Structure 1
Amino acid sequence: MGAIAKLFGMVFLIFVLWLGYVGYSISQGISGLHAQWGPVSEERTSIEITGSFKRPLYAPISLKDAEVIFMNESVAKLSRMEYSPTSTDFKSEIVIFNREVVDAILKYLENNESGEIVVKIVPALFGALSTEIETSIPFREKILESIHLTAESHEVAGIPGVKTPELRDTLVRYDGREGDKAVFTTVLVLYNPNSYPLPLVKTSYRVWINGIEAAYGESERNVVIPAGGTVELPVKTYVNLSSLPKVWALHVKNGEESTVRAKLYFRIQINLPLTGKITKEVELTTIEKTVKTNIMDQINSKLSGLNT
C-alpha cells in the first residue's frame, strides 16, 4: 500500500506541475490574433479567427461550446476550434445567425432599447472535465434617438414660385411587428417656406439598399402647413424583414460597403389664379449615399489589445 500511495502521490504531483505549466503557458499570452470574414449567406455570417500561444500547452484543452445570447435569442456560436496540444497555433470560427439577430433587435426595440448580452463558454479538459462560464453585459444603446434626417426646400418644377416643404427633422419610434414587416412611426417635421398655406394630401417614401427595397412609408393623414409655419406629420414606415439578411450578406461581400437610395414624395394641392385647384405629386429629395462600415477593423483593433 505504501508503494501504491507513493506512486499515486508522484502521479498527482506530476499532474499538478503539468497544470501549473498549462496555466503559465496561457498566462504568457496570445499573439498574432487576427479575424476575417468567412463564408456569408442570407442565413449565416462566419468570422474566422487565428492566433497562437507563446508556447505549446501540451494539454488536451478544448471548448465544448461557446454561445452569445441577445434578448434570449442565440445569435452566435463557436462552430469550429482547431488546436493541437503540441502546437502553438489555433484556428476558430464563429457563426452568426442573421435572422436571429434581426429577431433579437426587434425584441430590443420592444423593450424600450434596453437589453442584455449573455456570453456562455464551456471549456473542457481531456474532453470530459468541463464547467460552464457565463457572463452578462448590459446593453443600452439608443438607436432610434440617433436617427435625424433633413432635406432642403426647392421650387416645384413647372409651377414658378411654389416651393416644396423643408424637412427639418425626423423622430422615429417602434410600433411592433406585422407579419414579415417591422412597423415604425416616423414623424416628419416640415416647414412651409411659401407665403401661403400648403396642403399635403399624401406623403410617401421608398428606401433601397444595394438595389433591394428595404423599407417604404406613407402618411396616415392629410395636413395643411401654415404659411411660414411647421407641422409634425406621422408617416407609417414598414421595413421588409425578409430582405435584411440578403442586404447584410451583400454588404459584407461588397467589402462592408452598400449603396443606400431614398426618395421622398409629396402630393400637394395648390390654388392657381387661372387654373384653380390642382394636385401635383412632387419629389422633395433623392438621397443616395455610399455607406461603409469598418466592423472587421474594429474587431481586429479589439483583438490587438489581447496580443501580448
Structure 2
Amino acid sequence: MNLKVIILGVFLILIIWIGYVAYAAMTAEPHVEAKWGNVNEKTTEIIIDASLRHPLLVPASINELSINFTGVKVAWVKEFNYGATKSDMSLSLLIDNYNLVKALINYLNNGQNGEINVILKGKVLGIIPVNKEIKETISENVLGYLNFTAESREYLNGLFQTPALLGTKVDWAGERNGKALLIAHMRFYNPNNYPLPVANTSFDIYANGIKIGYGSTEKAVVIPAKGYATINVDTYIYENALPKVWALHVQNGEKSTVRAEIFLNLKLLGKEYNVKIASYEETIQTNIMEELNRMLNDMLKG
C-alpha cells in the first residue's frame, strides 16, 4: 500500500476526530449535580455527577486533585470515573473533617486570614500533562457572628433585676491543652439602684446535643448601679467534638440546633445567687450543597 495513502488516511481520520471532539464539546450541554456522599465523624464525601449529550472521545485522567487550606491538606479526589466513550462521568471528593478543624485553627492564628490552594495534575490523551494550581486568599471575620445578648428581667419576685447583656465581642486567644481558647468580652448594664457584685460568669455551649464548649471568668467584677461593666470570659471549645457536630449537621439536612446557657453568680445581701440570665436555642440552616450546585452551573454557563 502506498505510504502517502496511509498518511493521508491517518490525517483525514485525525481531522474527523478533532472535528467530532469540537462538535461534542460545543453541543455537550452538560448537566452537573453535586450531592453529599458518605458522611461520618472522620470524613465528608462530596459526589459530583456530570452527563453530556455526546461522549468526548478524549482519554483523560487525574493523578492528583487536592485542596489545601492554610497549608493543611483538607480534601482530595477519592475516585474519578470517566471514559472517553461514555457520556456520563463522576468525581468523588473526600474531606478530612479533623484536618479541616486544624486548618480553621491556623486561620484564626493568622488573624482570620488564610489561603486556599487547589492543585490539579493529570493527563490528556495519555501523554499531554495538565498541571494547574489556583490560589485564593480568604479573610472573613467568623468570630464576629458570636454576639450574645440578653434582656434584663425580674428575679425572685422582683427582689432584683438581672443585668442586661448588651453585646459580646469575641477574640481569638490560641490553643490550650487541646482546646481552642476564645475571650468573650461581655458588656453588661445594671438596671438596679445598687451595685451588683458578680463573683463569676459562666456558660455552656451545645450543638446537636453535644457539649462543644464552656466559659468562666477568673476574677470578680462589680457592675455599678445604673452603670456598665465589661466581663471577660475565657471560653474553651472542644476541637475534637467539632467533626462529629459537622457530620450530624450534614446528616440532618444541613441543619443544627445550637444552645447556649449563660449564668451569673451574684453576691447580694450576704447571699449568693446563681442566676441564669439567658438560654438560647437556635436552629442553624446552611445551603452549602445548593450554593455549590449554583456555582458549578454558573461556571458552565460561562
TM-score between the two structures when normalised by the length of structure 1: 0.91
Give 3-state SS (helix, strand or coil) of 2:226's partner: coil
Aligned equivalents of 2:22, 2:134: Cα separation in 1: 21
Contact 1:258-1:291 at 8 Å conserved across structures: yes
Match of 2:197 in 1: 199
Q: 2:168 aligns with which of 150, 167, 170?
A: 170
Aligned equivalents of 1:108, 1:10: Cα separation in 2: 59
- Paired positions, count: 300
Label 1:204 to 1:49 Cα distance change in 2 as closer, same or farther (>3 A): same
Q: 1:303 aligns with which of 292, 296, 301?
A: 296
Give 3-state SS (helix, strand or coil) of 2:37's partner: strand
Contact 1:30-1:306 at 8 Å conserved across structures: no
Amino acid at match of 2:285: K
Give how far 1:125 is off.
2.1
Give how far 1:295 is off.
1.0
Whether 1:254 aligns to 2:247 is: no
Moved more, 5-14 or 237-246: 5-14
Label 1:25 to 1:204 Cα distance change in 2 as closer, same or farther (>3 A): same
Label 1:217 to 1:5 Cα distance change in 2 as closer, same or farther (>3 A): farther
Aligned equivalents of 2:24, 2:180: Cα separation in 1: 50
Q: 1:187 aligns with which of 185, 188, 192?
A: 185
Match of 1:284 in 2: 277
Amino acid at match of 1:174: W
Give 3-state SS (helix, strand or coil) of 2:58's partner: coil
Give how far 1:74 is off.
0.8
- The gaps in structure 2 that reach 5 residues or longer are none
Match of 1:263 in 2: 261
Aligned equivalents of 1:41, 1:137: Cα separation in 2: 28
1:84-125 deviation line (CA, Å, top 9, x unaligned)? 211211111111111111111110111111111111111312
1:3-52 deviation line (CA, Å, top 9, x unaligned)? 76885676467546635643553354552211111000111000111111
TM-score between the two structures when normalised by the length of structure 2: 0.92
Amino acid at match of 1:238: Y
Matches within 5 A, 1:34-53: 34-53=33-52
Aligned equivalents of 1:235, 1:44: Cα separation in 2: 33
Aligned equivalents of 1:243, 1:41: Cα separation in 2: 13
Whether 1:238 aligns to 2:231 is: no
Give how far 1:55 is off.
1.9
Contact 1:175-1:184 at 8 Å conserved across structures: yes
Contact 2:124-2:130 at 8 Å conserved across structures: no
Give how far 1:147 is off.
2.6
Matches within 5 A, 1:147-162: 147-157=146-156, 160-162=158-160
Root-mean-square deviation (Å): 2.0
Contact 2:67-2:74 at 8 Å conserved across structures: yes
Matches within 5 A, 1:1-308: 7=6, 11=10, 14-15=13-14, 18-19=17-18, 21-157=20-156, 160-271=158-269, 277-308=270-301
Aligned equivalents of 1:15, 1:142: Cα separation in 2: 54
Moved more, 15-24 or 109-118: 15-24
- The gaps in structure 1 that reach 5 residues or longer are 272-276
Give how far 1:81 is off.
1.3
Aligned equivalents of 1:258, 1:186: Cα separation in 2: 22
Label 1:108 to 1:10 Cα distance change in 2 as closer, same or farther (>3 A): farther
Label 1:12 to 1:170 Cα distance change in 2 as closer, same or farther (>3 A): farther
Amino acid at match of 2:64: D
- Higher relative contact order, structure no. (Cα contacts within 8 Å, ≥ 6 residues apart): 1
